[in-house]
Amino acid sequence: MNVSISLPMPARHGRIDLSRPIFVVLVLALGLLVVLPLFWLAYYSLLDQNGQFTLANFSALVTDPTLRRPFLTALGMALGVGVLSCVIATPLAWLVARSDLPGRTAIRALVTASFVTPPFLGAIAWEILAAPNSGLINVAYRSLLGLEPYEYLVDIYTFEGLVFAIACYTFPYVFTLVVNALERVPSDLEDASSMLGGRLSTTLRRVTIPLVLPAILAGTMIAILQALTMFGSPAILALPAGFHVITTKIWSLFQYPPKPGLAAAAALPLLIVTIMLLWGQARILGRRGYTTLGGKSSDPRIAKLGRWRWLAIAFVVSVLLLTVLLPYAALLKTALTRTVAEPLTWSSFTLHHVNFVFFEFSATKLALRNTFLLGFLTATIGTAIALVIAYLVTRRSVPGSQLLGYLATAPVAIPGIVLGVGLFLSYSNPSLMLYGTLWILLIAFLTIEMPAGYQQLSSAFKSVHPELEEASRILGGTRMTTLRLITAPLLRSNVVATWCFVFIGTIRELSATILLTTAETKLVSVIIYDLNESGDLGAISVLGIMLLVISFAVVIIANRLPVLGGQRLPAAR
Amino acid sequence: MMKRRTVLSGALVSGLALLGAGGLAWAQAPAPYEPNQEMIDAAKKEGTVVWYTATDVQVSEKVGNAFEAKHPGIKVQVERSGSERVFQRISQEYGSGIHKADVIETSDAVHFLLFKRQGWLQPAVPSDVAKSWPAQVKDPDGQFAAYRAHLSVIGYNTQQVKKEEAPKSHADLLDPKWRNRIVKAHPGYSGTIMTGTHALSEALGWDYFEKLGKQRIMQVQSSTEPPKKLAQGERSVMADGNEYNMFMLKESGVPVEVVYATEGTPIAIGHAGLLKNAPHPNAAKLFYAFLFSRDTQQLISDVGGLRSFHPEVKEKEGRTPLSQIKILYSDPTKLEPQIEEIKKKYEVNFGT
């Protein structure tokens, strides 16, 4: 008898492996998203004011010191931010993930709060705190020591001040990635190290840190790129200090009479630097394997801090004080007093700003609605696309899948403000008129957030051993079924985290937004910027606090929703 | 409360005559109009009016609310940003064939030369403008008119600086004692400051800005911002900034004081215009007339501290009437070709 025939074959036939058509569609879609604006930028960078071909824009980059200087300043600033973020975030992440420090959940929540904070809002809060004369810290410093007026302790309107104010809101990128990675380092490797006589510091240096190095580097790289392409914080802090970075300079090129050609050309060096950074990262990581999440995983080891405990607490408290607690206390105070300089007392207490924002200021409601609508859409669509791309690329399932990875990462090289211009040029012609609608903002946000989403998910994929997927595939699952049934659930905490990343990123976005909003498509970030331009700190504080509360609520709900997998993986605890 | 009646002085009007806007006044302007019931009904059907404005947000929201109170059922959407941002936005939008705005208003008179040249404006002359506005502050073709005027003044925080020690002139700002103490707005971001920089560079020469640039000033963007930095006590003296913000702060009890410099004080004329492609044409026309009505002009003078061209507007006591101030004018037709150069020179001297 021919038994083997009647045995059900793994049911591969009849089901189409969708990964190839999906690959093609994604390449086309991403290509359109990324290439179209770049094409228009390249085109415009080669035109002079009258529409004639010229290379003058590029030669101006080298010869004109008012263009050269902002670029070098921005590079220095971004590197400073990267180093500072890494130095703050790595120990913090280790303490939270792997030590017996008390209050770890609260620390996580507060770091999330600083991540949810749009950097430009943080910059405004730091103006309130550390402006040399009116800054609350300096006022307290003078009155404590009985100093003369104009003496000050800290001045936020400096290069160092700017680096600090940006790092406060970029370190969570490093933190989140490193915490996730630390939780995935299997304890057997560390056990092996300690069994062989390695002390905690040796294990940390020889085993743990090398294993999470990809996460540290990826986080630092995101921090550097964020800083390099950031517009809001430099516009708020660098201009008063009397210097430009490249983004504020590019922005100033759109003042009347606008010079889009020069702006487009000025974006080119940024593109090159970014590509070099990405290449550098790939070189450092090399071909080493970092698979840490296999089918059999064990709880991470928790280190006892012992006498180092107090030092650790002091470190954590000062980080959180500087990045979250003080800025929000300052915003709260400003929201409730008439002017920034007054102390909060019964007599200076006022609900004027609250009343103004909710009942007099006509833009509030519309902006809130648009902001959260776009946040949800971008996060959901963006995460879905990033998940598929990360899967296809890390598993090299389709020939040429690396191309998708490059396309998904490419937008990181385009500063938001330049992308804003590119998108404006692409989607404001009569045949494709999206300018003035929310669609152009959705496209902008998807493009801007794709690199972060992709990076995060692909580093997650790299840490999942393919053995589990191979099992599914052997049993007849197609690639997409496997992704849906095996890999995605394994990574659901990463997926939720990515969703939140993208959601928050959208809410924080200002640089592309500022060129793409119109009366009916305005966003909270833009009205905050407009209000800052006219110095209405009270109204900004009210809006800022509201933005924080709502986005924080969204993040908490997203992390708790049972549909999304409820609490994190057990290991995260 | 006694309110002193001031008509914009003869000095101002004769000064404006120098601008050369006059001559063929009212050549092609349409007949003046007064809102009638038919217009109001049509406007109510449209339900909304979109106003792009560069006036301080608190003031413009009040104007919006006053209109909504007068015409229930018509919402005013106030779109406030700095003059140059308003200009950038409308240029972007009109460049792409998007017509969202009904009425536009900026403090940079050059913008209206450009709007007119582009053919974006709808000629319309509210009866108040026809009757009472001096010919020098309205377009002869009826395409725009001065909704407001304001000065860009020197100011100081009275808690930090004694009256005797306060600067009296622009030259006084160059005293080394003000190093690190001065806040100043930026001509690239503010129409008022661009106008003021032009007027001052003609009156005092670029030499003045060269020296001011060495005072380590705090650079802010909009001309509404320096008064607020004074109010916070962040800087003690402002080199330029809106007079009307100073009024508003001072009258609410904030310790700031205005200085009318001995060399003269630049004035910025803020025109308003009706857009040809306004999506709500009737509401727009109704609102446009409302902007120039005596009540609105009184409102922006009272709560906004803006200077009005309406002869029946009474200025609050304690405000120096324009007739007693030496005013520096900037001719928009002369300013326009120089904008690029002014920005370049400014960046050389001030870093941004």
CATH number for B47:
3.40.190.10
Is residue A121 within 8 Å of residue A532, measured between CB atoms? no
Q: DSSP secondary-structure letter at B161?
A: S
Q: Do B215 and B171 belong together in one domain?
A: yes
B232, B236, B351: residue with CB nearest A340: B232
Query: How do residues A316-328 score in pLDDT, each as one tens digit?
Result: 999 999 999 999 9
CB distance from A358 to chain B under 8 Å? no
Question: What sign does the dihedral A146-A149-A150-A156 (CA atoms) show?
Answer: positive
Residue with tokens 């607690």: A325
User: How much is the pLDDT for A492?
Assistant: 81
For residue B350, which residues of chain A lie inside 8 Å, CB to CB?
242
Chain A residue numbers touching B351 (CB-CB < 8 A):
242-244
The residue type found at A427 is Y
- Interface contact A431, partner B, CB < 8 A: no
Assess if residue B26 is contained within a domain: no
A257: cis peptide before it, omega within 30°? yes
How big is chain B by its Cα radius of gyration, in Å? 20
Same domain, B127 and B276: yes
Domain boundaries, position B224: 151-266+336-350
- Å between B41 CA and nearest CA of chain A: 23
Instruction: Specify whether B197 is located in the same domain as B287.
Output: no
Let me know if residue B229 belongs to a domain. Answer: yes
Cα A172 to Cα A179, A366, A398, B251, distances in angstroms = 10, 30, 34, 45
Q: Hey, how many other C-beta atoms are within 10 angstroms of the C-beta on A6?
A: 7
Tokens standing for residue A330? 């300052």
Residue B1 has pLDDT above 50, yes or no: no
Mutate to test the interface with A, among B104, B216, B221 (most CBs of A within 10 A): B221
Same domain, B119 and B222: no
A530 contacts chain B (CB < 8 A) = yes
**Which of B98, B160, B238 to mutate against chain A (most A CBs within 10 Å)?**
B98
Q: Which residue has the tokens 């997998």?
A: A565
B3 pLDDT higher than 50: no
List A47's β-bridge partners, or say none: A53
Q: From chain A, pick out residues whose CB is under 8 angstroms from the CB of B180.
A: 132, 150
How close does chain B come to A423, measured CA to CA in Å?
12
Residue A368 at interface with chain B, using a CB cutoff of 8 Å:
no
Ramachandran class of A476: left when φ > 0, alpha when ψ lies in -120 to 50, beta otherwise: left
Instruction: Say which DSSP state A150 is in.
Output: T
Determine, for residues B100 and A518 on separate chains, whether the beta-carbon distance falls below 8 Å.
yes
CA distances from residue A381 to A173, B186, B273 in whole angstroms, order as listed: 21, 41, 42
**Nearest CA-CA distance, residue A29 and chain B, Å:** 24
Q: Which two tokens stand for residue A358?
A: 């909710």
Query: Domain check: are B51 and B143 in the same one?
Result: yes
Helix (H, G, I), strand (E, B) or coil at A429: strand
Which residues lie below 8 Å from residue A67, measured CB to CB, with a gap of 6+?
A60, A61, A249, A262, A266
Q: Quick check: is B197 in a domain? A: yes
> What is the rounded CA–CA span in Å between residue A203 and residue A303?
11
Q: Does the CB of A342 have a partner CB in chain B at under 8 Å?
A: no
The Cα–Cα gap between A293 and A286 comes to 20
Residues B197 and B340 occupy one common structural domain: yes
**A543 and chain B in contact, CB less than 8 A:** no
- Residues B226, B344, single domain; the answer is yes
- pLDDT for A117 equals 86
For residue B285, the number of C-alpha atoms closer than 13 Å in the C-beta half-sphere is: 23
Distance from CA of A342 to the nearest CA of B (A): 8
- Residue environment code for A416-454, b if the CB has 16+ CB neighbours within 10 A, otherwise e: bbbbbbbbbbbbbeeeeebbbbbebbbbbbbbbbbbbbb
CA atoms within 13 A on the CB side of A312: 22
For A112, counting Cβ atoms within 10 Å of its Cβ (0-12 exposed, 13-18 middle, 19+ buried), the class is buried
Residue A519, chain B, CB below 8 Å: the answer is yes
Give phi and psi for A242, each to the nearest 5: 85, 25
A436–B352 C-beta distance less than 8 A: no
Per CB-CB distance under 8 Å, the chain B contacts of A340 are: 232
Q: Check CB contact under 8 Å for B352 and A157.
A: no
| pLDDT of residue B2 exceeding 80 | no
Instruction: Compute the distance between CA of residue B89 and CA of residue A517 in angstroms, rounded to an integer.
Output: 9
Q: Calculate ∠ Cα A104-A108-A110, nearest 5°.
A: 115
CB contact under 8 A, B92 and A241: no
A242 touches chain B (CB under 8 A): yes
Whether B22 is covered by a domain: the verdict is: no
The reply to whether residue B61 touches residue A242, judged by beta carbons under 8 angstroms, is: no
Distance from CA of A131 to the nearest CA of B (A): 7
pLDDT in tens, B247-291: 988 988 889 999 999 999 999 999 999 999 999 999 999 999 999
3-class DSSP state for residue B273? strand
Residues 6 or more apart whose CB falls under 8 angstroms from that of A208 comprise A94, A98, A182, A185, A190
**Domain co-membership, B59 together with B140:** yes
Locate tokens 């090159």: which residue? Answer: A272
| pLDDT at res. A93 | 93
Q: Where are the beta strands (DSSP E) in B121-171?
A: 144-151, 154-157
Domains and CATH numbers, chain A: 17-48+351-573 (1.10.3720.10), 55-288 (1.10.3720.10)
Q: Please check whether residue B326 lies inside any domain of the structure.
A: no
Separation of CA A415 from chain center? 13
Beta carbons of A378 and A506 less than 8 angstroms apart: yes
Whether residues B280 and B173 share a domain: the answer is no
The whole-number pLDDT of residue A284 equals 65
Residue with tokens 């044409």: B281
Residues B88 and B182 in one domain: no
Q: Is residue B51 part of a domain?
A: yes
Is there a single domain that holds both residue B178 and residue B116?
no
Stretches where chain A sits below pLDDT 50 are 1-14, 287, 289, 295-296, 564-573
Phi (first) and psi of residue B150, to 5 degrees: -150, 160
Alpha helices by DSSP H, chain B = 10-17, 37-46, 57-70, 83-95, 109-118, 127-132, 191-204, 206-212, 225-232, 243-251, 281-292, 294-302, 332-335, 339-350
**What residues in A contact B64, CB-CB < 8 Å?**
362
First to last CA, chain B: 45
Interface test with B, best of A40, A148, A255, A417 (most B CBs within 10 A): A255
Question: How close is the nearest chain A Cα to the Cα of B116, in Å?
Answer: 16
| Torsion angles phi and psi, residue A154, rounded to 5 | -130, 150
Long-range own/partner contacts, residues A393-401 (CB < 8 A, 24 or more apart): A393/A458, A394/A458, A394/A461, A394/A462, A395/A461, A395/A466, A395/A469, A395/A479, A397/A19, A397/A479, A398/A19, A398/A20, A398/A23, A400/A23, A401/A23
Partners of A150 on chain B (C-beta within 8 Å) are 180-181
Q: Is A236 on the interface with B (CB under 8 A)?
A: no
pLDDT at B23: 39
B260 marked ligand binding residue: no
Any CB–CB contact under 8 A between A157 and chain B? yes
* Per-residue pLDDT at A341: 66
Number of domains in chain B: 2
Contact between chains at A518 and B87 (C-beta distance less than 8 A): no
The CA distance from B186 to the nearest CA of chain A, in Å, is 10
B285 occurs within a structural domain: yes
| Interface touch A518/B343, C-beta < 8 Å | no
Question: How many helices and strands in chain A, by DSSP H and E?
Answer: 28, 2
First-last CA distance in chain A? 55
Say if residues A434 and A440 touch (Cβ distance below 8 Å). yes
Domain assignment of residue B24, yes or no: no
Q: Is residue B157 domain-shared with residue B210, that is, in the same domain?
A: yes
Report CB contact under 8 Å: A242, B217: yes
Answer yes or no: do B160 and A258 touch at CB < 8 A: no
d(CA B132, CA B318): 25
